[in-house]
Amino acid sequence: DDLSELDARVSVCRACPRLVRWREDVARDKRAAFRDETYWGRPIPGWGSPTPRILIVGLAPAAHGANRTGRVFTGDRSGDWLFASLHRVGLARLPTSTYADDGQELVDTRMVATVRCAPPQNKPTVTERDTCAPWIEAELGLLVEHVRVVVALGGYGWDATLRSYAAIGWDVVRPKPRFGHGAEARLVSGDREVLLLGCYHPSQQNTFTGRLTESMTDAVLSRAAAYGL
C-alpha cells in the first residue's frame, strides 16, 4: 500500500550528508556493543496504526534508540517513558518498547519523527529539518483522513505539526498557537478539525529533572485517548 511504499522509500533516503555519515558511523562503532542485533543505522519510518486516530510527533531518532532498533521511540529511555504512559492510558499493548519484534502494538495510534535520521546531539540543522519535511508531509497526507488528535512532543514537534498541516493545505492558525505542556489548539480544513495537544518531550533532560512527570504525561495522553478514540 501507499504507506508501506513511503516507509520503503524513506528508509533508504540519503539526502542529508551530515546525518547519513553520523547514523552510519554510530551504527558501525556501536555494532560491536550490540553484537547480537542488527544495528539499523538508517532513517526511521513512522510506526503504529496505518489508520491512526492519534498521531504522536517527535523530534528525531536517538542514536542508540531508534537508530539501533529501527523503530521510532524504541530501545531508549525516552521510549520507555513514553510507552509506559501509553500503556497506562490504554494506547499501547505493552508497557515497554525494546526492539522491533517485541510484540508491542499501538492502539489507533501512530508515531513519527519530524527528522527521520539521528542527528548529533539530537540537534538537526534547519536545512536538515527542511530537507526532511517532505517525508512527514507525505506521511501526514496519507493519514490525514483518520487523524483526530496530534500529540506534539516538545516545541519542535509542535512547530513541525503546524508546518506540515499548512504544507498539505490546512488553514494556518494566526497568530501561531504557543507550545506548552497541556497546550491545545484546533487546526481546521473545511469541515475537518484536529486537536493539537502539546506535551513536553520525554527526553531525560525533562524526565530526570522532574520537569515532566509520569502524571503530566498520562494527563496529555489520556486527553488524546478520550478525544481521539
Where does this chain bind ligand SF4 (CB under 6 A)? 10, 13-16, 19-20, 43, 115-117, 128, 131-132, 135
**Beta carbon nearer to ligand SF4, 41 or 43:** 43
**Beta carbon nearer to ligand SF4, 136 or 151:** 136
Q: How far is the CB of 13 from ligand SF4 (least distance, A)?
A: 3
Q: How far is the CB of 218 from ligand SF4 (least distance, A)?
A: 31
Kindly give the residue spans of alpha helices, DSSP state H, lying in 74-190.
Answer: 77-88, 126-143, 154-167
Q: How far is the CB of 82 from ligand SF4 (least distance, A)?
A: 21
**Beta carbon nearer to ligand SF4, 59 or 89:** 59
Give the C-alpha separation, 50 to 130, whole Å.
25
The DSSP code for 208 is: T
Give the C-alpha separation, 7 to 12, whole Å.
9
Q: How far is the CB of 12 from ligand SF4 (least distance, A)?
A: 9
Give the C-alpha separation, 7 to 28, whole Å.
23
Q: How many Cβ atoms sit within 10 Å of the Cβ of residue 220?
A: 23
**Beta carbon nearer to ligand SF4, 118 or 196:** 118
Closest by CA position to 40, among listed 19, 18, 63 = 63
